[in-house]
Structure 1
Amino acid sequence: MQLVVCLKFMSELKSISPLDGRYQNDVKDLSPIFSESALMKYRLIIEIEYLLALSHEPKIKEVREFNDEDRVNLRMIYEKFSEEEALKVKKIEKTTNHDVKSVEYYLKDKLKKINGLKDYLEFVHFALTSEDVNNLAYSLMLKDGVAVYLRSLRTLLKELKSLSWANKNVALLSLTHGQPASPTTVGKELAVFYYRLFRQLDVLSQIKLQGKFSGAVGNWSAQAAAYGRVDWPAFSQTFIESFGLEFNPLTTQIESHDGLAQVYHALIRINNIIRDLNQDVWLYISRGVLKQHKVKGEVGSSTMPHKINPWKFENSDGNLGLANALLSQLANQLPVSKLQRDLSDSTALRNQGAALAYALLALKSTLDGLARLEVDRQAAQAELDNHWEILAEPIQVVLRRLGYDQPYEKLKQLTRGVRITRAALQQLVRGLKIPKPKKDQLLKLTPEKYIGLAAKLVEKYLK
């Protein structure tokens, strides 16, 4: 056990990417989906399921219909695919210098050892181009990776909803253009981020990735040459849809990647919303209206002992930037290909796991940061008490309703750029020539009470 732990730390220390080193534990759920070994496994799934599909096609007489034992034996190849088996594929690749062909040869070697299947070796990867396998594999990887990511995103939504409800009535001084403005509540401001993220989660969840399975230039040319009586588009559609993907009938050698780009762009929007949340929380901490719990043993500064830095939100920001840089490059690069095919998409696609990992890492950092927060109600109240001039807005609006002459202009003259005390504002109200009920209403108004429908908005839209 001690040796295993030692080897793990040595591996982390030698990793080029912090995703496989420092942050490996935070993104470990993505490793079985996006690693090199995982890519091999997804390719094997496509190759084996394709062979099984060929066996079900009655017009392909040369491949008998496989029985239950055959199906179990074939699927066991990818279900029990291990690192040891992945090394065998890499060994083959040293000779072929072609990753997909290496998987094909590996699978053929496996079939030779299964009774009753060695006669069908040449129907492995039959009439396919590498992209037929790769586009489905990469789409399934992204589909599964996004499912992992969405679990954490839903956790963030749950946390934001809880914080919104808990603080729906806690008044907070707004700042527009960095200047004191009409109050809001802590809960309502967090609800804004909940609502934005909820909408984008819905968008991301509904994107259906596409797949192609139509050969070297998208015309099923080799398939039709070998078996002209088979309806290859229909065969391919059934095969692709069996993986929960959408059939793309019109492509070149490569699938157009527009669906992948949709996912990347959806993730970018989600990341930007989380960046906005991080920034606002960071500023609330800076103002003192949010405070962070002390974590025993942690150090805020190597020289200033008193510090508790909002480093979780800063860490999140940095990783969101990295995620968006990769996602943006992927979204711009992949839908563009020279004529029927170039290899630029191949090297780019290998990085979609890193892009999603940075996004997941950032999301988890934000979650950790939120768990350390609480509202400093005294600080929030002190801010409001220092800015009674913000009540100039409701006063001038009430005066407008009463037909008062130029109320906005008169309040502007008295309050613009000036800090007004409670006593000064109430003296102003007492001097107004308006009906007593309205005057009493304005005298009862305080900054913490001037929150409009903030609490009701949380109750209505965050049920």
Structure 2
Amino acid sequence: VAKMARSHAKIPLLARTHGQPATPTTVGKELAVFATRWQRQLRQVEQAEYLGKFNGAVGNYNAHVVVYPQAPWEEIARTFVERMGLTFNPLTTQIEPHDFLAEIFHTLIRFNTITLDFDRDMWTYISLGYFRQKTVSTEVGSSVMPHKVNPIDFENSEANLGISNALLDHLAGKLSVSRLQRDLTDSSAMRNVGAAVAYSLLAIRSAIRGLSRVAVDETALRHDLEDAWEVLAEPVQMAMRKAGCENPYERMKELTRGQDITQETMQAFIQGLELSKPDRARLLGLAPAAYTGLAERLARQAER
């Protein structure tokens, strides 16, 4: 995704907030947002501590001290646990409390949820025609509608992420709770860790497969932008504020809200404003496809 963000850094895209046309962005910048979010969660997984204990039936070295009373048991336990590649937990009951597992599972839930957000955005972009799906001759899109090419990979990913998150959420809550010094509920629950992670892996693979089978439809993006001159209401009203014009927001709202705004409409309005020559020229030279701010630069910041 980060690679795709950089290669699509310049391609303008009509943003949508609340489903409605909003300030333009670029395809690459929106992909870079997801890449950065995923990378942050992966760093947290990589930095996770895995704890271990070696202190007897209820965590007090009771039998150890009786059999070898002179042995430095805390030091021995720490050395043993750390040689196993774990972080030593000196204070436990019969079991290591599993809080570190809950932390890891919550991080995986966040990673999954970001992927779910990505799946839904890609599904929506495909629905809007912003991305075309590559056809596979052996696939059937619909049992009765032969023309269809459905975004099944993103839908399958979304479904499996839901199952994974449900399991991970239960495990994160369950494994941190054990009655008094120990009960056996953690043992049964732990048998589902593999399934929880496996559903996540299936979902990620589906999302990757879905991404590999789409291509940006720049023509569709351009058409949408050409029909969205109302999005320039934002920079125009900001220039009006800079120039000290009265009621800039209200005047732009009256001009654009619920109206079919064209290039001619917007530029005629700009011509009638008391702006400096540089500001007027800058606004008259602006089009929705060019109004992307620093999106291209931001897209190229996606980590490799």
Structure 1 match to 2:130: 289
Structure 2 match to 1:298: 139
Contact 2:6 2:302 (C-alpha < 8 Å) held by counterparts: no
- Which residue identity is paired with 1:355? A
**Pick from 260, 265, 277: which aligns with 2:106?**
265
Task: List per-residue Cα deviations over 1:307-332 (Å, max 9, x = no partner).
Answer: 11111111111111111111010100
**Pick from 322, 328, 342: which aligns with 2:169?**
328
The ranges of structure 1 where at least 4 consecutive aligned residues each deviate by more than 6 angstroms after the TM superposition are: none
Q: How many residues align?
A: 304
For residues 379-394 of structure 1, the aligned pairs below 5 Å read 379-394=220-235
Structure 1 match to 2:62: 221
The answer as to 2:109 corresponding to 1:251 is: no
Q: How high is the sequence identity, in percent, across the aligned residues?
A: 51
Unmatched runs of 5 consecutive residues or more in structure 1: 1-159
Distance in 1 (alpha carbons) for counterparts of 2:105 and 2:289: 42
**Pick from 289, 296, 301: which aligns with 1:455?**
296
Distance in 2 (alpha carbons) for counterparts of 1:374 and 1:319: 24
The answer as to 2:220 corresponding to 1:376 is: no
For residues 187-202 of structure 1, the aligned pairs below 5 Å read 187-202=28-43
Distance in 1 (alpha carbons) for counterparts of 2:137 and 2:76: 61
**Pick from 62, 74, 80: which aligns with 1:233?**
74
Q: CA deviation at 1:461?
A: 4.9
Task: List per-residue Cα deviations over 1:4-59 (Å, max 9, x = no partner).
Answer: xxxxxxxxxxxxxxxxxxxxxxxxxxxxxxxxxxxxxxxxxxxxxxxxxxxxxxxx
Structure 1 match to 2:240: 399
The answer as to 2:249 corresponding to 1:408 is: yes
Task: List per-residue Cα deviations over 1:256-308 (Å, max 9, x = no partner).
Answer: 00011111001001001111111111100000001111122111111111111
Structure 1 match to 2:23: 182
Distance in 2 (alpha carbons) for counterparts of 1:436 and 1:265: 55
Relative contact order, CA 8 A, sep 6+: which one is greater?
2
- Which residue identity is paired with 2:280? K
Structure 2 match to 1:318: 159
- Which residue identity is paired with 1:334? L
Task: List per-residue Cα deviations over 1:173-231 (Å, max 9, x = no partner).
Answer: 11111111100000000100011111111111101111111121111212222222222
Q: 3-state DSSP class of the match of 1:165?
A: helix
Contact 2:237 2:248 (C-alpha < 8 Å) held by counterparts: yes
Q: 3-state DSSP class of the match of 1:417?
A: coil
Structure 2 match to 1:242: 83
Structure 2 match to 1:426: 267
Task: List per-residue Cα deviations over 1:413-461 (Å, max 9, x = no partner).
Answer: 1111222111211222222233333222211100000000101112345
The answer as to 2:181 corresponding to 1:340 is: yes
Task: List per-residue Cα deviations over 1:387-416 (Å, max 9, x = no partner).
Answer: 111101101111111111221111111111
Contact 2:35 2:302 (C-alpha < 8 Å) held by counterparts: no
Distance in 2 (alpha carbons) for counterparts of 1:257 and 1:435: 65
For residues 6-155 of structure 1, the aligned pairs below 5 Å read none
Distance in 2 (alpha carbons) for counterparts of 1:174 and 1:290: 14
Structure 2 match to 1:91: none
The answer as to 2:61 corresponding to 1:210 is: no
Distance in 1 (alpha carbons) for counterparts of 2:197 and 2:51: 19
Structure 1 match to 2:148: 307
Contact 2:30 2:299 (C-alpha < 8 Å) held by counterparts: no
Distance in 1 (alpha carbons) for counterparts of 2:58 and 2:279: 77
- Which residue identity is paired with 1:394? P
Unmatched runs of 5 consecutive residues or more in structure 2: none
Q: 3-state DSSP class of the match of 1:291?
A: strand
Task: List per-residue Cα deviations over 1:84-143 (Å, max 9, x = no partner).
Answer: xxxxxxxxxxxxxxxxxxxxxxxxxxxxxxxxxxxxxxxxxxxxxxxxxxxxxxxxxxxx
Contact 2:32 2:301 (C-alpha < 8 Å) held by counterparts: no
Task: List per-residue Cα deviations over 1:136-186 (Å, max 9, x = no partner).
Answer: xxxxxxxxxxxxxxxxxxxxxxxx111101111111011111111100000
Distance in 1 (alpha carbons) for counterparts of 2:147 and 2:51: 54
Distance in 1 (alpha carbons) for counterparts of 2:114 and 2:50: 23
Q: Which has the larger radius of gyration?
A: 1
Q: 3-state DSSP class of the match of 1:392?
A: helix
- Which residue identity is paired with 1:331? A
Q: CA deviation at 1:347?
A: 0.2
Distance in 2 (alpha carbons) for counterparts of 1:294 and 1:241: 53
Distance in 1 (alpha carbons) for counterparts of 2:196 and 2:301: 36
- Which residue identity is paired with 2:266? L
Structure richer in helix, relative to its length? 1
- Which residue identity is paired with 1:314? E
